[in-house]
Amino acid sequence: MIADISQLMEAEKSKQITVSTLLQLLPAKERLRDELKLERSRFSKEQKQREAQGRTEDLTEDEFFDLPIECQQEISLHSLSAVIIHPAGRGNRIFNPDLIKPVWRE
């Protein structure tokens, strides 16, 4: 698709087609290119989710941390149903990780 767009641009530069013809043909090609990019990203995301679902049950903690960060994120997102953050109180507050409670999927 990118090659088609490049060919149209080159054809206009070499005066094989007019600018008005280019402007008529280009939007459809660009729309198709964007749809294909979106479809590719959705497919990639779904594939990562499927891989993450299949791996979670047998992983040790060391194996989990050896995975690429993208896989760790997918596994975490699939395994959590919510995260509860309790109030820290008033005044000068510092970060307290004990106030963060994950809710795991059953």
pLDDT at 1: 73
pLDDT at 10: 87
CA 39 to chain CA mean position, Å: 11
Helices (H), 56-106: 61-66, 69-79
pLDDT at 55: 59
pLDDT at 54: 63
- 85 lies in which domain range? 2-104
**In the structure encoding, which two tokens stand for residue 98, read together?**
């004990």
- pLDDT tens string, the chain, 106 residues long: the values are 788 888 888 888 888 888 888 888 888 889 999 999 999 988 887 777 676 666 566 778 888 888 888 888 888 888 888 999 988 878 777 888 999 999 988 7
pLDDT at 51: 67
**Contact residues for 17 (Cβ-Cβ < 8 A; gap 6+):** 8, 11, 25
State pLDDT tens for residues 28-48.
889 999 999 999 988 887 777
Q: How many domains does the chain have?
A: 1
**In the structure encoding, which two tokens stand for residue 44, read together?**
């990639």
CA 95 to chain CA mean position, Å: 29
Paired sense of beta strands 100-104 and 80-85, if any: antiparallel
CA 46 to chain CA mean position, Å: 10
Query: What is the crossing angle of helices 2-13 and 19-55, to 10°?
Result: 160
pLDDT at 49: 67
3 state DSSP class of 36: helix
